[in-house]
Amino acid sequence: MLQLQEWHIVGHAQARVVLQSLHPSKAVPPLTTLEVEFPRVYLAEFNTHTRLSRNSASSRAIPVWKRLRAIIERPYVPTSFGVNKPGMSSELPLSDKEQEHAVEAWRIGMHYACIQAFALAGGTEGILADAKGSLEAQSLCLCMEELSKELGNPFPVLRNAVHKQHANRVLEPYAYHTVVTTATHWRNFLGLRASKHAQPEAQDFGLAMAYALKNAQPQQLRAGGLHLPYVSMEDVMECADETQLAMASSAKCARVSYMTHDGVRSVVRDIEMADGLKMNGHMSPFQHPARAIHGYRKASARTLSGNYAPGWYQLRKQMEHEGDFSKLVSRDDLIVGCREDESLVDFILGLPA
């Protein structure tokens, strides 16, 4: 059940355990779901690790005005710039005076990026239409108009707002990013990210995650028990069906792409969302829920466990065509996506699944 634990903050990152489940066999590693927040520009360093299942906030899903508000309230500004040198990392910090200049240059770039996104989103008219006139959005627009005026109104405001999948991109270097990740194997990830050779901001999220894992308060599962991130006792009271709760858990993990879990949302709506994700081939959220299988055979368990240790049976592995999106999308959709090149569609469909 829901066991959101305390945040562990290191530098620019914070992490907390959403749920840790102990397998009935002590030979099988625990399955842990973490919620991690760190600067968006370091997402690539996080995503290189294939043993971790993950879902994260999406620039294509979060409204521009919410991204802008988050950056105005809490921008990402590096706290320590290093002197340039050959290689992948610096060793010496800038002088105090140069550090001040670097921070100032970063903030100026951030201000221009904010008013650029504001202009692309249609300015006040576009933002308020998207936000349905909310008071928070109105306050944000006043702030953006004032900032744009201070900088000489450098960007033309578009009459037809650009979609958030483009307007939000210019904000990414200054935003914080939320990831939900689940795994049984953490040592390689933490060894790389907690190393002195890692970028300091990557060290931040590596150490925050390590502290969260070190202080985790696990639940003990029986054979056949389910690991269900974000599922609360209230959810169980609303829906007693384990399969449906696993679907709801998947949707809750997917929802990090566009909203937080602070609000109230019914299990029924989460299940509806999960059905939509499944129909459209978005399978990654279904990796987070898993069942503890006791007395498993390793040969077959590897197929069922995916990127987890054998003994954990991923919900995703129970789904038809979970590894072949082409089976879930129509040929017509592929033709449109391939820009009418039917020979390319035939080539794609002829590849091994």
User: For residue range 81-131, what is the model confidence (pLDDT) as tens digits?
Assistant: 999 989 888 888 999 999 999 999 999 999 999 999 999 999 999 999 999
Question: The sheet that has 226-227: what strands, in order across it?
Answer: 226-227, 290-292, 312-314
Angle at 43 (CA atoms; ends 167, 273), nearest 5 degrees: 70
Average pLDDT over the chain, rounded to an integer: 91
CB under 8 Å to 4, separation ≥6 — which residues? 16, 17, 18, 35
Q: What is the pLDDT of residues 206-233, one digit of tens each?
A: 999 999 999 999 999 999 999 999 999 9
What pLDDT does 302 receive?
A: 60
pLDDT at 169 over 90: yes
**Could you write out the DSSP letters of every residue in 16-67?**
EEEEEEE-SSTTSPPEEEEEEEEEGGGHHHHHT-TT-EEEE--TTTS-HHHH
What pLDDT does 258 receive?
A: 65
Q: Which of the four pLDDT bands, split at 50, 70 and 90, describes residue 348? A: very high
What is d(CA 332, CA 276) in angstroms, rounded to the nearest whole number?
19
Average pLDDT value for residue range 152-171 = 96
Q: Hey, how many other C-beta atoms are within 10 angstroms of the C-beta on 313?
A: 23
Poorest-confidence range of 121-135, 185-199, 258-272?
258-272
b/e map 202-211, b = 16+ CB within 10 Å = bbbbbbbbbb
pLDDT at 262 over 50: no
Q: Rounded to the nearest 10 degrees, how much is the dihedral formed by the CA atoms of 265, 268, 269, 275?
A: 140
pLDDT at 133 over 80: yes
In sequence order, the β-bridge partners of residue 36 are: 15, 179
- What's the pTM value of the predicted model, to 2 decimals? 0.91
Q: What is the pLDDT of residues 270-312, one digit of tens each?
A: 999 999 998 888 899 999 999 999 876 554 556 789 999 999 9
What pLDDT does 299 receive?
A: 46
Residue bearing the bigger pLDDT, 79 or 68:
68
Average pLDDT value for residue range 38-64 = 92
What is d(CA 237, CA 288) in angstroms, rounded to the nearest whole number?
21
CB under 8 Å to 131, separation ≥6 — which residues? 63, 65, 137
CB under 8 Å to 5, separation ≥6 — which residues? 16, 17, 18, 212, 215, 216, 217
Q: What is the DSSP letter of 110?
A: H
Q: What is the pLDDT of residues 316-333, one digit of tens each?
A: 998 888 878 777 788 999
Average pLDDT value for residue range 11-37 = 96
Domains of the chain: 8-59+175-318 (3.30.1360), 77-174 (no CATH), 324-353 (no CATH)
pLDDT at 261 over 50: no
Q: Which of the four pLDDT bands, split at 50, 70 and 90, describes residue 1? A: low
Q: Hey, how many other C-beta atoms are within 10 angstroms of the C-beta on 199?
A: 15
